Amino acid sequence: MNHAEALAAYIRLHTEFVLVASMEGSYGHMGATLTDAVLQAGVNYETVVRPRVERVLGTYPDATTTSSFARLIRQLGADQVLSWQGNRKLRTLQELISVLLQNGVETEDQLRIWLEKPANLERIRQIKGIKDKTAHYLQILVGAQGVAIDRHLFRFLEEAGTPTNSYDEAHKLICDAATLLGVDWSVLDYSIWRYMSQRASGVSTKHCGGQGSPPNG
């Protein structure tokens, strides 16, 4: 039995683990999508990222394209639009917007198609502040099948008896296990994140529905 088979077997036998897809689709709003992707790394998603994404959606409903979001940021400043202190993530956001505009990427559908090309995925990984996890998470946000490895997924692999410290190995392992289980990659990604994060917060994972997009923060 290889590691992917062992992981799939562990999931099948795990009495509390539930395979569940996110109840939410894409935002249909590039401002919200880019805000979510850029802010999520290294912070608490529910208390830090989600409120800001909801603020962008509610306060700036017309920022649905990359161009309209870029205009909004020029007019008001990224710090005000995102209600964010600190320059590092704001610089990452502005560079990401610039790359997308240069490539004519205006909508989530266009972004999903654009990111299907490995060279484009590599291009956004060249932006300071965007590594493999954020690039893959951005794919998930726009409806592509993907796996964004974070601390929750690494810990789950360790508990399953298939530990690794390699992002690439963990990514392939979860993708292969999802295939063996007959589910989309993003479903297994979200299900693991949901199970581990809810367990860490003391929330029961039994009989719970999907609760939004997978933060992978």
Mean pLDDT by runs of 10 across the 217 residues of the chain is 94 91 79 96 90 97 98 97 94 98 97 96 96 94 90 94 95 96 92 88 43 38
Determine the Cα–Cα distance for residues 193 and 90; give it in Å rounded to an integer.
26
d(CA 216, CA 124): 18
DSSP for 32-76 reads HHHHHHHH-TTS-IIIIIHHHHHHHHHH-TT--SHHHHHHHHHHH
**What global pTM score does this model have?**
0.83
